[in-house]
Amino acid sequence: MKLMRVGDRGAERPAMLDGAGRIRDLSDIVDDIAGDVLGKAGLDRLRSVDPAGLPEIAADTRIGPCVARTGKMVCIGLNYSDHAAETGAEVPREPILFMKATSAICGPNDTVLIPRNSAKTDWEVELGVVIGTRAAYVDEDAAMDHVAGYCIVNDVSERAFQTERGGQWTKGKSADTFGPVGPWLVTRDEVADPQALALWLDVDGQRMQDGTTATMVFGVRHLVHYVSQFMTLEPGDILSTGTPPGVGMGKNPPVYLRAGQTMRLGVEGLGEQRQTVGQA
């Protein structure tokens, strides 16, 4: 299934995409794409619904973040060997964890705002993992049982805030609009292998990132297991699993976003995002 949320910011309705690509309203079935809806019983209930019997929503309706009530967004740093190489960093021996404030989360096609005093706002296409059931100290062989599905994340980053202003990476990752999520939550059964997905990002039509999840240092299964050793993952939490090479700071010389530019990005089977860049 492809689950989504549509409508004005803060007033999104739950929806699904039918086989013909039409948006169908789930408001009479569930209150939102969140909580117990993301567990096995909740998803099985949605699978039993005939989309043809649901009201159709206009295709030009705004798309919001594909999951609601996200309690935390945990990101993985330097998780692609080729991205670590372009930044001059060593491949980590354990996953590097940092947090992106949930206030950064926005719709997949919402305007991304360069924060005030920013000079180095950058892009990062990533595979997002949406947690479906509570995960604490899970074994690696059981980790995927806790995954509801996958989505696209643009882990927008301000590199000067991230690396030149002291402290941890979070301040460079958490500006408003720095977390476009969606357009869809694609349920786990529709993704045969999360370690075999192409992902890409263009800026103003120029291909900047063109990679594959096959070059992840730590795969999805290990990440769910690993993160659950340090914190409990709850339904709706998102793991953003790292980015392939081609980010702006890895260019020679570095290239960063400017107001008026457009980003397009996608992950195989998970749709596309498109964001215009504005100024806060």
Residue 77: which residues within 8 A CB-CB, separation 6 or more? 92, 96, 97, 98, 169, 242
Tell whether 12 and 134 lie within a shared domain. Answer: no
In DSSP notation, 175-204 reads STT-EEB-S-EEEGGG-S-TTS-EEEEEET
Tell whether 42 and 125 lie within a shared domain. Answer: no
What global pTM score does this model have?
0.96
Segments forming the whole domain that contains residue 18: 2-57
What is the distance between the alpha carbons of residues 233 and 236, in angstroms, rounded to a whole number?
Answer: 9
Q: Name the amino acid, one letter, at 267.
A: V
Phi, psi of 249 (to 5 degrees): -70, -15
Q: Is residue 66 part of a domain?
A: no
- Say if CB 227 and CB 202 are below 8 A apart: no
Q: What is the CATH number of the domain that holds 114?
A: 3.90.850.10
Q: Is residue 141 part of a domain?
A: yes
The number of distinct structural domains making up the chain is: 2
Which pLDDT does position 217 carry in this prediction?
Answer: 96
Tell whether 135 and 243 lie within a shared domain. Answer: yes
Which pLDDT does position 129 carry in this prediction?
Answer: 98
**Which segments of the chain have a pLDDT < 70?**
84
Sign of CA dihedral 62, 68, 70, 73: negative
Which pLDDT does position 204 carry in this prediction?
Answer: 98
What is the distance between the alpha carbons of residues 2 and 267, in angstroms, rounded to a whole number?
Answer: 14
Which of 57, 82, 99 is where one domain is finished?
Answer: 57
Which pLDDT does position 143 carry in this prediction?
Answer: 98
Which of 33, 57, 81 is where one domain is finished?
Answer: 57
Q: Name the amino acid, one letter, at 152.
A: I
Tell whether 7 and 118 lie within a shared domain. Answer: no
